[in-house]
Chain A
């Protein structure tokens, strides 16, 4: 029986979930399942920029957002209060939206026929280009989640506010939109850090512990990869090392107000100079991809 033939019962929540119109396509079981007609995605590669470099750079920015979005979304149905769950879900959704555009651009510039779904669901760990901080798990510890989002959103906001001037129109458009979104994410994380840090002895201890967990991943955020260095010269990328002063100033502002102490832990080491940007990841990324990709890999093209 087609859904149109069913008698409409406004109290039946399941019926409205399966509501369709005659023009609806079958819903994909994962991913977007559609080719978005995004006007800007097909813009030419800016003069002086190498196409392979630009594709790689879009993966870096896109994978940071995709993997961090997944980690934040793990709080859905687990957050301490409904309002905070909604805040975290909205944050994850904003980051996912940024990732979709950047992965689409990467796929287009690469020119090998891979779309956003192929890049999100069918790449192996070593092909991901996100920084380690994005994949760091929190075991549903709210202090770690707040610390991770505070550092991540402060750093990404500093990057994107510079990338509004990128010579790549897609990167510039994502940046202009992302700045507005990340300002909200950073506000949320900073206010929670303040509330927990300057709260009870227990909340202070937990927030400080969250910072200590996150801190070894901070150093990597300011390391400039060869791809970024070349694209800085082409006016497409921004040098992450140049954001350090701004990020430090914002974090110090929050830590001081929250009576928290800046950790002195050393940065995580590299694998012969390689880290997230070169595809060298921690074990944590495997766990993220297992959740993210298992359905798509077990049932390619599945729909419902």
Chain B
């Protein structure tokens, strides 16, 4: 397997239904002989999964015969849920996590405050109903919000658009 393929196969430690490639956090894989430098971008500034990603990437590459391995993080440009692949969106929905819609475009100037939940339509990943409501904007991981379907009554996670 090429180093690029090894990197592409490593899964996200908090959402193991997604590979790091699906999640869109892999920026670059540079190969120099057997040495590999992987550049990734954190999803959130304090994302605790970055350390695990670093370890998992190094383990997978070493197991495939590569090394030394250097994993670098870059912050700019900031990660966006728009970088999640089509395959990743499908896998999220299959695992019961509603995939994100398109992220708001960063605009210059002040960020407007909205005091009511934005009227986004999030489809229930369990029954397909469009009648869902937000329970909490912060879910069990930094990147998800918690919602509930008012048709089948199941709670589910929704990946927040950022």
A-to-B contact residues, CB < 8 Å: 21, 23-24, 34, 36-40, 83-84, 86-87, 90-91, 93-98, 100-101, 157-158, 161, 164, 169-170, 172-174, 176-181, 183-184, 186-188, 190-191, 194, 246, 250, 253-254, 257
Taking CB atoms, residues of chain B closer than 8 Å to A23 are: 55, 58-59, 62
Can you name the residue of chain A whose Cβ is closest to the Cβ of B135? A83
Residue of A nearest to B110 (CB): A246
Could you jot down 25 A-B contacts, CB within 8 Å?
A23-B58, A38-B72, A38-B74, A83-B135, A83-B136, A87-B136, A91-B138, A93-B44, A93-B142, A95-B46, A98-B45, A98-B46, A157-B111, A158-B110, A164-B106, A169-B76, A176-B76, A177-B78, A180-B78, A180-B162, A190-B113, A250-B113, A253-B113, A253-B115, A254-B115
Residue pair A188, B106 in contact (C-beta under 8 Å): no
B138 contacts A97, C-beta separation under 8 Å: no
Residue from B45, B62, B74 having most chain A Cβ neighbours under 10 A: B45
For A194, the chain B residues whose CB sits under 8 A away are 115
Q: Annotate B129-144 by CB proximity to A: 1 below 8 A, 0 otherwise.
A: 0000001111110100
A94-B45, A98-B46 are contacts. A188–B138 as well, Cβ < 8 Å? yes
A76 to B14, CA, bound (A): 20
Taking a contact as CB atoms under 8 Å apart, the answer to whether A39 and B78 are in contact is no
Contact of B106 among A95, A97, A176 (CB under 8 A): A176
How many Å lie between the Cα of A161 and that of B55 in the bound state?
Answer: 33
Chain A facing B: main interface SS: helix
Quick check: B73 and A161 within 8 Å, CB to CB? Answer: no
Q: Which of B89-113 contact A (CB under 8 A)?
A: 106, 108-111, 113
> Which residues does chain B contribute within 8 Å of A172, judged by CB atoms?
76
A22 vs B55: C-alpha distance when bound (angstroms): 10
Query: Which residue of chain A lies nearest to B75 when distances are taken between CB atoms in the complex?
Result: A173
How many Cβ-Cβ contacts under 8 Å join chain A to chain B?
Answer: 116
Chain B residue at minimum C-beta to C-beta distance from A24: B55
If A38-B72, A173-B76, A257-B115 touch, whether A100 touches B46 (CB-CB below 8 Å) is yes
CB-based nearest A residue for B70: A37
Residue in A closest to B109 when the chains form the complex, CB atoms = A161
Given known contacts A97-B46, A101-B45, A40 and B75 CB-to-CB distance under 8 angstroms: yes
List chain B residues, Cβ under 8 A from A86. Answer: 136, 138-140
Question: How close is B121's CB to chain A, nearest CB, in angstroms?
Answer: 19
**Across-interface contacts of A246 in B (CB, < 8 A):** 110
